[in-house]
């Protein structure tokens, strides 16, 4: 075998070399609680889900195992991290397994970023859980994060890795426009969501009202007031998540008392814990529209679910091909 030295190598005619290179397809894996959504995302992307199995010990401890090579590959691990904490632990273990299996790019696709409500110290001697989770994801091996409608935009700053923060407005706005509601007013259920409400109102060319609430404790509202006029209006409440549904149902009832024609609610993440379904059924909400970022616990005549798989698949393709995702940011 004749080995070229440096001078000889630099005399080569590079025009005669085949410089074509095909970027290999990425691999998509799912945490157990997000398997249904991950299958939809993979199908929209045009791939099959990768093979990963979970072994469980009798005490509840579990171990994920990639049953195919990921060496040098770009992989996407899909999993929302809503409680229980087992969902977050699954994501962390899968990231660590991928890192130790020599995956080159490891993207944590988290349609719902759990623990995000603890984004600051609101009283002494409490944690900032969102910051802790961000650090754990990076330590476990995530080289990029893709998520949707964070509870607070500034959570992106908790990461040292790139974060693609998608907005579900790209899903909700087309649905809202198809409703063709007259005298539409966008509402925020609290002061913190006013920016989101203004963004929707700008897109829909509508008025805005805001609810002011005070809490006795977490998930318990002691007082609520309405800032703005809803008389003769079709109102759409917008929020990032619905947990016990106490805020949304109370706001809907208040607005109907103030003369609204109808009240709907759009919330990205349908946690719907406790007696949330019962509250929604008994409330004056016309309907609650959520995405499938979190699996819906049960069917309800008032709960409508819009799919987010196409949005995530599109963004994942753009990330893989290094093309812009700016068009996915409507807010």
DSSP 101: T
Task: Confirm if 240 and 151 have CB atoms less than 8 A apart.
Answer: yes
Return the structure tokens found at 56: 């469980």
Catalytic residue among 40, 121, 195, 213: 213
Task: Confirm if 263 and 292 have CB atoms less than 8 A apart.
Answer: no
| Alpha-carbon span 326 to 173, nearest angstrom | 17
Task: Confirm if 178 and 160 have CB atoms less than 8 A apart.
Answer: no
Task: Confirm if 207 and 235 have CB atoms less than 8 A apart.
Answer: no
| Alpha-carbon span 150 to 116, nearest angstrom | 7
CA distances, 152 to each of 3, 131, 269 (Å): 58, 12, 14
For the chain, helix (H) and strand (E) counts, in that order, are 9, 14
> How are the residues of the chain apportioned to helix, strand and coil, as percentages rounded to the nearest 5?
35, 25, 40
Residue 213: active-site member: yes
In 10 A of CB 68, how many CB atoms? 11
H or E element in which residue 86 lies: helix 85-100
Which residues on adjacent β-strands are paired with residue 110?
147
Residue by residue, DSSP assigns 189-216 as SSGGGHHHHHHHHHHHT-EEEEEEEEEE
SS3 235: strand
Residues classed as catalytic: 213
């Amino acid at each position: 075998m004749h080995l070229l030295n440096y001078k000889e190598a630099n005399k080569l005619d590079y025009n005669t070399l085949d410089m074509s290179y095909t970027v290999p397809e990425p691999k998509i894996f799912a945490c157990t609680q997000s398997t249904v959504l991950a299958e939809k995302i993979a199908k929209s992307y045009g791939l099959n889900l990768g093979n990963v199995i979970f072994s469980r010990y009798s005490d509840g401890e579990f171990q994920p195992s990639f049953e195919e090579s990921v060496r040098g590959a770009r992989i996407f691990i899909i999993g929302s991290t809503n409680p229980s904490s087992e969902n977050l632990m699954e994501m962390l273990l899968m990231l660590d397994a991928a890192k130790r299996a020599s995956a080159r790019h490891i993207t944590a696709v988290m349609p719902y970023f759990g623990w995000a409500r603890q984004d600051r110290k609101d009283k002494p001697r409490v944690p900032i859980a969102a910051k802790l989770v961000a650090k754990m994801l990076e330590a476990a091996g995530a080289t990029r994060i893709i998520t949707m409608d964070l509870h607070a935009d500034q959570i992106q700053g908790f990461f040292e890795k790139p974060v693609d923060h998608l907005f579900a407005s790209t899903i909700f706005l087309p649905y809202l426009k198809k409703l063709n509601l007259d005298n539409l007013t966008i509402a925020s259920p609290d002061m913190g969501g006013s920016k989101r409400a203004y963004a929707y109102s700008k897109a829909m060319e509508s008025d805005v009202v805001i609810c002011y609430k005070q809490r006795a404790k977490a998930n318990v509202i002691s007082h609520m007031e309405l800032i703005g006029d809803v008389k003769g209006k079709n109102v759409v409440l917008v929020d990032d998540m619905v947990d016990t549904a106490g805020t949304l149902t109370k706001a809907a009832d208040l607005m109907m008392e103030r003369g609204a024609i109808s009240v709907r609610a759009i919330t990205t993440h349908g946690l719907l814990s406790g007696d949330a379904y019962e509250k929604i059924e008994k409330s004056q909400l016309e309907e609650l529209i959520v995405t499938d970022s979190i699996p819906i616990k049960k069917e309800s005549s008032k709960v409508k679910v819009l799919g987010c798989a196409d949005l995530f698949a599109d963004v994942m393709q753009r990330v893989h091909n290094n093309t812009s995702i700016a068009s996915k940011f409507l807010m």
